[in-house]
Amino acid sequence: MHDLSLATEIVEIALSAASESGASTITPVHIALDPTSHLDPSTLADAFEIAAAGTQAAAATLEVAMESSGRGEIAVTAIDVTP
């Protein structure tokens, strides 16, 4: 369930960014995931798909880059949108 909670937050960030830019559709959402976070990128991507269902992000994919910060962090690095 932790993955779904994080995925929901990522979707909310993406929806907010889309709203601010006037975009109608969110395409890939890019995140940086620290390997020490102990999150599985595949499980997080599946949770993202569930969280995004029925929203402007429904067709989006979650693109995960493993980047070591040494602090177990996860960060949204880019959100691609279309008008």
| pLDDT tens figures, 10-57 | 999 999 999 999 998 999 999 999 999 889 999 999 999 999 999 999
How many angstroms separate the CA atoms of 35 and 51, rounded? 22
State which fold the 2-82 domain adopts: hypothetical protein PF0899 fold (3.30.2320)
- Give the residue from 44, 33, 30, 42 showing the smallest Cα distance to 1: 44
CA dihedral of residues 14, 15, 18, 20 (deg, nearest 10): -110
41 within 8 A of 60, measured Cβ to Cβ:
no
pLDDT above 70 (res 1):
no
Please, where are the H alpha helices in the chain?
2-21, 41-52
Q: Which amino acid is at 32?
A: A
